[in-house]
Amino acid sequence: MTWAGHLPASREYRRILVGLGAAGVATFAQLYSPQGLLPTLARGLRVSPTEAALSVSLATLGVAIAVLPWSWVADRVGRLRAMQVAIVASTVLGVLVALAPTIEVLLGLRLVEGMALGGLPALAVTYLHDEVHARHTAAAAAAYISGTTVGGAAGRLIAGPLAGLVGWRPALLTVAAVCAVASVVFLRLMPRPRGYRPSTATTARTVADGIRTSLRDPALLALYAQGALLMGGFVAVYNYLAFRLEGPEFGLPATVGSLIFAAYAAGTVSSRLTGRWVPRLGRRRVLLGGTLTMVMGALLTLSSALVVVVVGLLVLTAGFFAAHATASAWVGARATTGRAQATALYNVFYYSGSALVGWVLGYAWSGPGWSAVVEAVVALAVVAMGLALTVLPGRSTTPITSPRAPARESRPAVRPTVARPDETDRADGSRGARRPR
């Protein structure tokens, strides 16, 4: 009998959501914790803001480098086993980063740590499509994305204030300890996989074919661009806004300035809500709405009033995570073959954008200032919206015909013909005639 996938009422479904939520905490708390203490790190190691930001960019570059190799490993040993190896390795490396004696050693370890961390975002959404019923993968992916926002916020909010009190090394060690606890939760809760069996027949050619197929799909390329452009702008805002808040314009102490990362709570909420919005409004509308919201938030941060800047950061964060949750889940639904490679490529673009744009816009901050950073972020978002409008499919009246749908969920053959959002598009994004069941 074909495996249909776990349903929300099942114990395994709940364990998957909690386990992947813990993995999101462990992964993103480590990945972005240095971002919460960049001004303290720059002062402690006597480096420029742009050089300090490399501690974030090199880690995200490591993720981008590693996601495709991790997808190959997962095809051979299984998605869950690969994620287990990744989370243990990254936890150990997180401790070593906190003990690094020089900036050069720290940056080298951050690159390797990012490569280890790449196993989680590379495989989590693919794992959900394997193990969760097709009707509920969008909601499950949104729940996972919300866990990543909790992790990103926790890492920054722990590291930032602590760094101002006890220094950046004890702060990063504390984050590593929190991530170790989250890793144990993940290892203990995740149920035995049932939707995918690893195969030793998976070869480099198989992976290459999956990559080639994905790169020939204009819609997938447009979704990859969403990840690169939006994530690049988002990370740049968080990289350099703390320098502005702790600088002469606002003069906030490090322990207070780092609290801006509490704005991640807005992303936790919006990423969960996308699971409800997509079925009602369609993927493209939610994606465009999230991006436009991100633009509005970025513009609000131009204000010289601290309250308005904080509101702008909340709006920007909510918009970004709504867009990201929608785009990442859309990739998994769109890819009918080579799904592991398709989702891995999304992460390659996503984290490459984070690494490159998040670093390059440091020169905008050091030169013209905050207005130049915002202008660049808005320009990136406008390009992303243009691609979404011209390339990505909109609404459709054709429901997904999933090979995994259980027989008991079949419906009468005669149904009223009503327009449905593109959450019910076929997995390959095509449109066709409705057929009775």
* Interval 301-333: pLDDT, tens: 999 999 999 999 999 999 999 999 899 889 978
CATH topology of domain 11-189+207-391: Growth Hormone; Chain: A; (1.20.1250)
* Interval 208-222: pLDDT, tens: 888 888 899 999 999
What 3 state SS string does the chain have?
CCCCCECCCCHHHHHHHHHHHHHHHHHHHHHHHHHHHHHHHHHHHCCCHHHHHHHHHHHHHHHHHHHHHHHHHHHHHCHHHHHHHHHHHHHHHHHHHHCCCCHHHHHHHHHHHHHHHCHHHHHHHHHHHHHECHHHHHHHHHHHHHHHHHHHHHHHHHHHHHHHHHCHHHHHHHHHHHHHHHHHHHHHHCCCCCCCCCCCCCCHHHHHHHHHHHHCCHHHHHHHHHHHHHHHHHHHHHHHHHHHHHCCCCCCCHHHHHHHHHHHHHHHHHHHHHHHHHHHHCHHHHHHHHHHHHHHHHHHCCCCCHHHHHHHHHHHHHHHHHHHHHHHHHHHHHCCCCHHHHHHHHHHHHHHHHHHHHHHHHHHHHCCCHHHHHHHHHHHHHHHHHHHHHHCCCCECCCCCCCCCCHHHCCCCCCCCCCECHHHCCCCCCCCCCCCC
Q: Answer yes or no: is pLDDT of 175 > 50.
A: yes
CA separation (Å) from 346 to 1, 100, 212?
Answer: 32, 31, 14
Of 359 and 292, the one with more pLDDT: 292
Could you tell me the pLDDT band of residue 4, with boundaries at 50, 70 and 90?
A: low
Q: Which residues pair with 420 in a beta bridge?
A: 396
Residue ranges per domain, the chain? 11-189+207-391
Stretch 274-302: mean pLDDT = 93
Could you tell me the pLDDT band of residue 258, with boundaries at 50, 70 and 90?
A: confident
Q: Answer yes or no: is pLDDT of 128 > 90.
A: no
Q: Distance between CA 69 and CA 344 in Å, rounded?
A: 9
Lowest mean pLDDT among 64-68, 307-311, 400-404, 432-436: 400-404
* Mean pLDDT, the chain, whole residue set: 83
In the chain, the amino acid numbered 290 is G
pLDDT for 397 equals 32
Of 180 and 260, the one with more pLDDT: 180
153, 268 contact by CB (below 8 A): yes
Stretch 49-74: mean pLDDT = 88
Could you tell me the pLDDT band of residue 399, with boundaries at 50, 70 and 90?
A: very low
Sole residue written with tokens 């590693």: 66
Angle made by CA atoms 219, 222, 226, in degrees to the nearest 5: 140
Stretch 88-104: mean pLDDT = 91
Q: Answer yes or no: is pLDDT of 138 > 60.
A: yes
CA separation (Å) from 341 to 81, 120, 230?
Answer: 17, 14, 21
Could you tell me the pLDDT band of residue 421, with boundaries at 50, 70 and 90?
A: very low
Of 40 and 371, the one with more pLDDT: 371
* Interval 24-57: pLDDT, tens: 889 889 998 998 888 888 888 888 888 888 999 9
Stretch 173-202: mean pLDDT = 82
Q: Distance between CA 316 and CA 181 in Å, rounded?
A: 30
How deeply is 215 buried, as exposed, middle or buried, from its count of CB atoms within 10 A (0-12, 13-18, 19+)?
Answer: middle
Q: Answer yes or no: is pLDDT of 293 > 90.
A: yes
Question: Which range in 168-177, 325-334, 420-429 is most confidently predicted, on average pLDDT?
Answer: 168-177
pLDDT for 189 equals 87
Q: Answer yes or no: is pLDDT of 372 > 90.
A: yes
| Structure tokens that stand for 69 in this block | 């190799």
Stretch 365-392: mean pLDDT = 94
Q: Distance between CA 149 and CA 225 in Å, rounded?
A: 21
Q: Distance between CA 171 and CA 159 in Å, rounded?
A: 5
The pTM for the full model equals: 0.73
CA-based nearest residue to 391, from 288, 314, 320, 278: 288
